[in-house]
Amino acid sequence: MKINKNKKIELFYSMIRMRMIEEKIAEKYSEQEMRCPVHLSIGQEAIASGICMNLQKKDQVLSAHRSHFHYLAKGGSLKKMISEIYGKETGCAGGKGGSMHLIDIQAGLIAAVPIVGSTIPIGVGLAWANKLDNLKKIVVIFFGEGSTEEGVFYESINFAALHNLPVLFVCENNFYSVYSGLNKRQPKKRKLFNVAESLGVKGISLDGNNVEEIYLKAKKIIKSVQRTNHPFFIELSTYRFLEHCGPNNDDDLEYRPTSEILFWKKKCPIVKYKKKLLKEKVLNSKKLDKIYNEINLEINKSFKFAQKSKFPKNSNLMKNIYA
Ligand SMILES: Cc1ncc(C[n+]2csc(CCOP(=O)(O)OP(=O)(O)O)c2C)c(N)n1
Ligand SMILES: [Mg+2]
């Protein structure tokens, strides 16, 4: 299957926009106006873009602590996201959640929860409810490979297989859980998608930095999940470029070998794709400048909007609490 020129530009635009947004968050974080922790996904853009480009508005997404890209790629509002990070009432969670608790039902981001693994059963439950109600929606659960070390992961995969639920598990394998490498946590030869398969959910592993491959493969998989109501598991290898939590580079801490960092920087999903599109003449420097300017304008407007917005009222403190 081929991707047309407009879709290629859309994929590139979505990735570079997400990166520029997080670069701005990183730049402004030291101003101490964003008072929540931020887990930036720079380096992992291709996954959110490639998968979500295949979703419809009615489809539902869940995420974890590293959630900005999932919200943006699902069509969330940049103004609402930045406002949420600034703790303002105009934020998507009314300013009470911050970066790790993005939620926007209209946009289809049903929950982002930083308890590792916790949104996996929520997503499976949602898919079950959708199936019982005969709603033709797909649920996509994004999680890091660290989540596969939580017991609830196994229970959820089993349940999705048992009840044939329309859910897509998307495991972003960036090989680290905070400072612990996967090679210190799991046996060397294990493939995470094999674990899902052993429990009855079909899976594949993909290069998480190749946006076109992700987009095309996910298109087929999502169609098949919709048609058959069978769950599917995609494992994508990728790398986060910045520290686990915060706006900085932490290469000096040496928990990740320099050769490994260099290897993955060379595989940057955006640099690689830009080169490809320039070569194919889908992009040129004039078009690129137009894209950068447009995105910069949007970002600056959104930050201004967030900074000008009000903090939530004290009287709202106990509202929307589940009890
Ligand atoms: C149940 C639980 N245990 C530990 C933590 C602390 N913690 C926060 S993020 C994180 C790493 C998770 O790694 P992974 O799932 O691979 O996601 P990544 O940060 O690599 O995107 C940990 C251990 C937590 N939030 N929840
Ligand atoms: Mg990880």
Atom of ligand 1 nearest to the CA of 115: 26
For ligand 1, is residue 208 a contact (CB within 6 Å)? no
CA of 203 to the centre of ligand 2 (A): 19
**pLDDT in the model for residue 1:** 81
pLDDT of residue 323: 72
Tell me if 8 CB under 6 Å of ligand 1: no
- Two tokens, residue 129: 């409810």
What is the per-residue pLDDT for 322?
79
Ligand 1 near 65 CB (within 6 A): yes
What gap in Å lies between CA 36 and CA 16, rounded to an integer? 24
Reported as type and span, the H/E element at residue 224 is: helix 211-228
Q: Tell me the average pLDDT of the chain.
A: 97
pLDDT tens digits, one per residue of 81-126: 999 999 999 999 999 999 999 999 999 999 999 999 999 999 999 9
Find out whether 15 and 283 touch, Cβ atoms under 8 Å: no
pLDDT above 80 (res 187): yes
| Dist CA 198 CA 137 (whole Å) | 26
- Dist CA 237 CA 222 (whole Å): 19
Residues near 27 by beta carbon (within 8 Å), at least 6 away in sequence: 247
- Find out whether the beta carbon of 146 lies less than 6 Å from any atom of ligand 1: yes
Using CA positions, which residue lies closest to atom 11 of ligand 1? 177
* Nearest to 148, CA basis, from 139, 157, 138: 157
CA atoms within 13 A on the CB side of 41: 34
**Which domains can be identified in the chain, with CATH numbers?**
5-242+249-307 (3.40.50.970)
**Would you state the pLDDT for residue 257?**
97
| 115 C-beta closer than 6 A to ligand 1 | yes
Q: How confident is the model at residue 237 (pLDDT cuts 50, 70, 90)?
A: very high
For the CA of 39, the nearest atom of ligand 1: 19
* For the CA of 145, the nearest atom of ligand 1: 16
Please work out whether the CB of residue 235 comes within 6 Å of at least one atom of ligand 1. no
Structure tokens at 198: 């052993």
pLDDT at 309: 98
